[in-house]
Amino acid sequence: MGQPKQLLDVGGVTLLRRSAQVALLSPTSKVVVVLGSNETQHREALEDLPVEFIVNHYWKSGMGSSIKTGLHYVIREHEEAQGVMMMVCDQPALSSLHLDALIKTYTASGKKIVASSYDSTLGVPAIFGRSFYSNILMLGDEQGARKIIDQFSDQVVSVPFPEGNIDLDTMEDYSRYLATKKITDLRR
- The pLDDT tens digits of the residues spanning 124-165 come to 999 999 999 999 999 999 999 999 999 999 999 999 999 988
Closest by Cα among 69, 6, 8, 13 to 43 = 6
All residue ranges of the chain with pLDDT < 50 are none
Tell me the one-letter amino acid at 64. Answer: G
Domains of the chain as residue ranges with CATH: 5-180 (3.90.550.10)
Closest by Cα among 145, 11, 161 to 98 = 161
pLDDT of residue 70: 97
pLDDT of residue 17: 96
Task: For the full predicted model, state whether its pTM sits above 0.95.
Answer: no
